[in-house]
Chain A
Amino acid sequence: MATILVNGVKREVQAPSDTPLLYVLRNDLELTGPQFGCGLAQCGACSVLLNGKEVRSCITPLAAVGDKEVTTLEGLPARWAKQRALTAEQAAKTLHPVQEAWIAEQTPQCGFCQNGMMIKTTELLERVSSPTLAEIKEAFTTSGPSPHLCRCGTYTAILQAVQRAATRMTKGSEIL
């Protein structure tokens, strides 16, 4: 049995230690934001943050999580609330600015890959507050084990949403 820290909460897990984190999250912890796309770290649908770094949960064994904190799509609003020290009341009605931007730009089509796109964007914008077009493209193509793939072809809408999120996140303490 292992105990892992997920979205700020310690969770006990019965799964064998070689189980990929993706199946632990989806089947044992009912955190279904990350999706199974390939099981090969080739598409990015399963991305989560591990201590703030985007990893592919489909090839990350449970044993490799250790005491690092896992953040899933479900945990993005609380992550933002904590970073901005929002009150519980404020936090309850707040999505992460990245999620807000994804809705404002109507980015998803089928939406199956968008978990990874939003996780990758969160990682990027926590590191670089106002990324250039080249930095955004680099984040989604060469920065990780593979490009983040979208078969619906929403890359334009993703770019626009990243830029919108960056603007929102750099607007000081404004809470939206």
Chain B
Amino acid sequence: MMANQKKLASRTTDVFGASLSRRGFVKAGGALLVGFSLVKADAMPKAEAAVSGNTLNAGLPQSWIEIHADNTILIRVGKPDFGQSTVFTAYRQIVAEELNVPFEAITNVVSGDTDRTPDGSGAFDFLQGGMPNIRKAAAYVHQALLDLASERLGVPKDQLSVKDGVVSGNGKTVSYGELVRNQKLNLTIPVKGDVHSMFGLTIDGDPPLKPVSQYTIVGKSFPNSVTASKVAAKETWVTDVRLPGMLHARVVHPKTLGSKLVSVGPLDKARFPNTQVIVKGNLVGVVAPTEWEAIKAAQQIASGTKWTDWKGLPGDQRLFQFLKEDADWKTTPAETSKKSNGDVPAALAKSSRKLSATYQLPYLKHAPIGPAMAVADVRPDGTVYVYTHTQNPQALRSGIAHMLTTSVDRVVVRTFAGPGHYGRSNGGNSGAEDEAVILSQAVGKPVRVQWMRPDDFQWSTQSSTAFSDVEIGLDAQGNLTGFQIDHYMPAMQDDRLVGAILAGLPTIPAPNEKGAVMGVRNNVSDPWIYDGAPAVLERAHGTFQVGQSSSPINVGLRDHSMRTPVQYQQNFPRELAITEAAVLAGADPLHFRIQHAREKRLIGVLESVREAAVWQPRSQPPVTKNGVRQGQGVSALFRNGTYWACVANIAVNMTSGAIKVEKMTVAVDPGIVINPLQLKRQIEGGTVMGVSISLREEVRFDESGVTVTDWRSYPIATMADLPEIKVVLINRPEVGKYGQGSEAANALATSAIAGAFLDATGKVARRIPLKPDYVQALLRA
């Protein structure tokens, strides 16, 4: 055995394009580690950045997967979990499945720290179009282990089988642990991309994957291992991070979204003897040894600080008039969807019935339950450690390095559990990180910046407002002849660091006409699904953020993607218009959809939701009982490989205008269902957010800034608003991929609820939220 091992030492072999190297023996332990090398970089500077930031030495702890001599396995993931549980359930299931080991063999999951994990990118891209990095990494490892076992056992690879981490062939067996014991094995797998970019690194090549028909672990409801530690108060949250010598800080933000600092208010040194006030440009930081002193001192400073005035926003009352008449939709070209086809104007001209309407959506807040906070430690040698909760740590690292004009090598981002961001930090920052860095650098100590509740509402980004113009034509039989929709939306991905902007430090540019992902250009986000319509024209028009360039400090209303971004903004008008078309055709809205659908999976979810919701085609006009009318509405969506259908049952109080969502039924076909319980919980959560934005949420703003400051002025759904929620999961292993975006129910809920309102009242609510005042006005009209 030893002689055989010596012979194998210091060799490198090919594993489906990856390379497996063996470097002699180690006295204790031994492991197989999985690192990466860039196969082809688009541009050299990017490649260098990726190399310098994450060494290519797979022996260092960026490895994706480690197989240990004691048969335990560790996985590392650059994307932090935000409550989806994907990192701690789905990823472990996927790896266990590919490797043929029990779920429990994966004893350690390291995620989200830039110096300890590979791959980058963010929680928004967990399943990466059905082929997550971790699945491919595991597939490469599986092949490498089979190669090792084949050599060890002297059995051809194709005669080996693996069960529970033990390889068998020709009557002989060897465990994974035995294969790596006393050895130093490095598997270097090919990757492409830039680790610090929005989308991070992607594993290249095509290692053989385990056939889905042989799955035994994917598809089961494993619990999230982090849940127990959170529930038992054992988790270290980002809010718990305390460093030696750390100071507490609050930031006094400008009076408006365009104000410059005139003078800083005086500090009462008698009351706050240990407080320091740090001013850099328009950034005013208040730093103290205790949190309570920082809060009180910041309040005192704020009351005496003078700012210039600014009135450069249209205000929420004039928002849609501003967007329609004043915004610049010409600088960036409109994008026409890939599924647009046929001659829509001609089809509309020939139609016997037509519909023309405009739909409007307000700005929304991501509204995490905990306001933004971070701890930063800028050390005397210039290295920077940031302790935070972000969806995209590598992108934040890059942003902080850019702000300080330093190398990414000198910046480390460590992540911890924290409040959900719903997309706010998917491009790097959640709000407070840069301010913590600036203040730490100024005082020479670690600094913890905690935004207060009003900071979080008024100085964070918002989900973009949008409007859409729709034209629909029907033939005499009530079939769709043409459907034209033009979506208008300001840029929605402003990943600039707001503290850096205020301090006058470098940031990436604001979204502009030159940018691609971060630009002004709008796109049609999910494909048209009613292939039975003979002519379709769908276009997306983009413009600049409202008030940004006119703001003397270049801030204005900064926008950011939020849960089901763009799809939410586009699904509401598209799906409500389809319901209106059905009503115009005298057809049942659910049947009308099935009639115009061609894709089997779409028809499948629509039929499932019809059955689960006990949908009844309306045979009589609605009647008012006890002042209330009930209605049902339906919507559908295809997003990231997943088909969705949703039915809402609502009750409308015809006097007060209050709406109660009584029941939501959601049918989902994601292809392969990885974890039914966790998926169901995500869908329930997305549905509640959908009810919340349908009925309650709207960012109010005046000419100077955001005027919502707390949960009274920005109410979200409470348990009193909770409908009965029924979830139907459709598992289709034959699809072979994992659909992603489990939270997307929010995008369906709005259009289904508005459809139910039309069903109940005969009135169309072409904007949300459906607050009582608006509902009363519609009912009177």
Q: Pick the interface stretch among B7-15, B331-339, B366-374.
A: B366-374
Q: How many A-B residue pairs have CB under 8 A?
A: 172
A-B contacts, 23 listed (Cβ < 8 Å): A20-B292, A23-B291, A23-B292, A35-B369, A37-B369, A37-B371, A38-B711, A40-B711, A43-B369, A45-B370, A106-B224, A109-B82, A109-B84, A109-B685, A110-B82, A110-B417, A112-B237, A112-B369, A112-B418, A147-B720, A149-B716, A153-B689, A156-B684
B591 at the interface (CB under 8 A from A): no
Q: Of A35, A40, A42, A72, which contacts B370 at CB under 8 A? A: A35
Question: What chain A residues lie within 8 Å of B223 (beta carbons)?
Answer: 103, 106
Question: What chain B residues lie within 8 Å of A4 (beta carbons)?
Answer: none
Cβ distance B11 to chain A, nearest Cβ, rounded Å: 46
Task: Check if B370 sits within 8 Å of A103, measured CB to CB.
Answer: no
Q: Of B369, B682, B712, which contacts A151 at CB under 8 A? A: B369
A103 to B82, CA, bound (A): 17
B762 at the interface (CB under 8 A from A): no
B1 at the interface (CB under 8 A from A): no
A73 to B83, CA, bound (A): 20
Task: Check if B682 sits within 8 Å of A109, measured CB to CB.
Answer: yes
Looking across the interface, which residue of chain B has its beta carbon closest to that of A72?
A: B233
A26 to B248, CA, bound (A): 13
B616 at the interface (CB under 8 A from A): no
Cβ distance A15 to chain B, nearest Cβ, rounded Å: 7
Task: Check if A39 sits within 8 Å of B453, measured CB to CB.
Answer: yes
Looking across the interface, which residue of chain A has its beta carbon closest to that of B725?
A: A156
Question: What chain B residues lie within 8 Å of A82 (beta carbons)?
Answer: none
B169 at the interface (CB under 8 A from A): no
Q: Of A16, A37, A111, A141, which contacts B292 at CB under 8 A? A: A16
Looking across the interface, which residue of chain A has its beta carbon closest to that of B422?
A: A151
Cβ distance A71 to chain B, nearest Cβ, rounded Å: 12
Task: Check if B368 sits within 8 Å of A148, measured CB to CB.
Answer: no
Within 8 A of A (CB), among B680-714: 681-682, 684-689, 692, 710-712
A137 to B227, CA, bound (A): 23
Task: Check if B420 sits within 8 Å of A140, measured CB to CB.
Answer: no
Known contacts A149-B716, A151-B369; decide if A35 and B237 are in contact (CB<8 Å).
yes
Which bracket fits the contact residues of B? 35 or more
A5 at the interface (CB under 8 A from B): no
Question: What chain B residues lie within 8 Å of A36 (beta carbons)?
Answer: 239, 370-371, 450
Cβ distance B325 to chain A, nearest Cβ, rounded Å: 35
Cβ distance B26 to chain A, nearest Cβ, rounded Å: 37
Cβ distance A153 to chain B, nearest Cβ, rounded Å: 3
B719 at the interface (CB under 8 A from A): yes
Cβ distance A170 to chain B, nearest Cβ, rounded Å: 21
Within 8 A of B (CB), among A70-96: 72-74, 77, 95
Question: What chain B residues lie within 8 Å of A55 (beta carbons)?
Answer: none
Question: What chain B residues lie within 8 Å of A150 (beta carbons)?
Answer: 369, 688
Interface string of B348-370 (1 = CB under 8 A from A): 00000000000000000001111
A51 at the interface (CB under 8 A from B): no
Question: What chain A residues lie within 8 Å of B82 (beta carbons)?
Answer: 109-110
Cβ distance A135 to chain B, nearest Cβ, rounded Å: 12
Known contacts A99-B232, A140-B719; decide if A110 and B710 are in contact (CB<8 Å).
no
Interface string of A33-61 (1 = CB under 8 A from B): 10111111011010000000000000000
Task: Check if A153 sits within 8 Å of B692, measured CB to CB.
Answer: yes
Question: What chain B residues lie within 8 Å of A158 (beta carbons)?
Answer: 719
Task: Check if A103 sits within 8 Å of B689, measured CB to CB.
Answer: no
Task: Check if A27 sits within 8 Å of B291, measured CB to CB.
Answer: yes
Looking across the interface, which residue of chain B has its beta carbon closest to that of A74?
A: B233
Q: Of B232, B370, B719, which contacts A155 at CB under 8 A? A: B719
A130 at the interface (CB under 8 A from B): no
Task: Check if B682 sits within 8 Å of A32, measured CB to CB.
Answer: no
Q: Of A33, A148, A155, which contacts B688 at CB under 8 A? A: A155
A167 at the interface (CB under 8 A from B): no
Cβ distance A99 to chain B, nearest Cβ, rounded Å: 5
Task: Check if A15 sits within 8 Å of B453, measured CB to CB.
Answer: no
Q: Of A99, A137, A153, which contacts B231 at CB under 8 A? A: A99
Which bracket fits the contact residues of A? 35 or more
Question: What chain B residues lie within 8 Å of A140 (beta carbons)?
Answer: 718-719
Question: What chain B residues lie within 8 Å of A163 (beta carbons)?
Answer: none
Question: What chain B residues lie within 8 Å of A113 (beta carbons)?
Answer: 369
A109 to B235, CA, bound (A): 14
Cβ distance B226 to chain A, nearest Cβ, rounded Å: 8
A129 at the interface (CB under 8 A from B): no
Given A16-B292, A110-B419, output 7 extra A-B contacts at Cβ < 8 Å: A23-B292, A102-B227, A109-B83, A110-B82, A111-B417, A153-B685, A154-B685
Looking across the interface, which residue of chain B has its beta carbon closest to that of A117?
A: B719
Question: What chain A residues lie within 8 Å of B716 (beta carbons)?
Answer: 149, 151
Task: Check if A153 sits within 8 Å of B686, measured CB to CB.
Answer: yes
Within 8 A of B (CB), among A91-143: 95, 99, 102-103, 106-115, 118, 136-137, 140-142
A157 at the interface (CB under 8 A from B): yes
Task: Check if A148 sits within 8 Å of B719, measured CB to CB.
Answer: yes
Question: What chain A residues lie within 8 Å of B681 (beta carbons)?
Answer: 106, 109, 154, 157
Task: Check if B452 sits within 8 Å of A149, measured CB to CB.
Answer: no
B240 at the interface (CB under 8 A from A): yes
B628 at the interface (CB under 8 A from A): no
Question: What chain A residues lie within 8 Å of B267 (beta carbons)?
Answer: none
B40 at the interface (CB under 8 A from A): no
Looking across the interface, which residue of chain A has its beta carbon closest to that of B448?
A: A27
Within 8 A of A (CB), among B97-142: none
Cβ distance A169 to chain B, nearest Cβ, rounded Å: 16
Task: Check if B83 sits within 8 Å of A40, measured CB to CB.
Answer: no
Chain B CB within 10 A, most for which of A23, A27, A152: A152
Cβ distance B274 to chain A, nearest Cβ, rounded Å: 13
Looking across the interface, which residue of chain B has its beta carbon closest to that of A136?
A: B719
Q: Of A45, A103, A148, A159, which contacts B722 at CB under 8 A? A: A159
Cβ distance B250 to chain A, nearest Cβ, rounded Å: 11
Cβ distance A60 to chain B, nearest Cβ, rounded Å: 13
A15 to B296, CA, bound (A): 14
A136 to B369, CA, bound (A): 21
Within 8 A of A (CB), among B660-695: 677-678, 681-682, 684-689, 692
Question: What chain A residues lie within 8 Å of B450 (beta carbons)?
Answer: 36
Looking across the interface, which residue of chain A has its beta carbon closest to that of B82?
A: A110
Cβ distance B720 to chain A, nearest Cβ, rounded Å: 4
A137 to B719, CA, bound (A): 6
B290 at the interface (CB under 8 A from A): yes
Known contacts A110-B419, A111-B83, A112-B418; decide if A37 and B370 are in contact (CB<8 Å).
yes
Task: Check if B718 sits within 8 Å of A141, measured CB to CB.
Answer: yes
Task: Check if A112 sits within 8 Å of B370, measured CB to CB.
Answer: yes
A153 to B725, CA, bound (A): 11
A74 to B684, CA, bound (A): 28
Question: What chain B residues lie within 8 Å of A157 (beta carbons)?
Answer: 681, 684
Question: What chain A residues lie within 8 Å of B684 (beta carbons)?
Answer: 153-154, 156-157
Known contacts A35-B237, A108-B83, A113-B369; decide if A141 and B420 are in contact (CB<8 Å).
no
Looking across the interface, which residue of chain A has its beta carbon closest to that of B682?
A: A109
Task: Check if B370 sits within 8 Å of A141, measured CB to CB.
Answer: no
Known contacts A39-B452, A109-B682; decide if A159 and B239 are in contact (CB<8 Å).
no
Question: What chain A residues lie within 8 Å of B369 (beta carbons)?
Answer: 35, 37, 43, 45, 110, 112-113, 149-151
Q: Of B292, B452, B682, B686, which contacts A15 at CB under 8 A? A: B292
A58 to B227, CA, bound (A): 25
A19 at the interface (CB under 8 A from B): yes
Within 8 A of A (CB), among B211-251: 223-224, 227-228, 230-233, 235, 237, 239-240, 242
Question: What chain B residues lie within 8 Å of A39 (beta carbons)?
Answer: 452-453
Question: What chain A residues lie within 8 Å of B418 (beta carbons)?
Answer: 110, 112
Cβ distance A25 to chain B, nearest Cβ, rounded Å: 11
Task: Check if A106 sits within 8 Å of B83, measured CB to CB.
Answer: no
Looking across the interface, which residue of chain B has its beta carbon closest to that of A14?
A: B290
Known contacts A153-B685, A155-B719, A156-B725; decide if A106 and B420 are in contact (CB<8 Å).
no
B717 at the interface (CB under 8 A from A): yes
Looking across the interface, which residue of chain B has its beta carbon closest to that of A118?
A: B231
A146 at the interface (CB under 8 A from B): yes
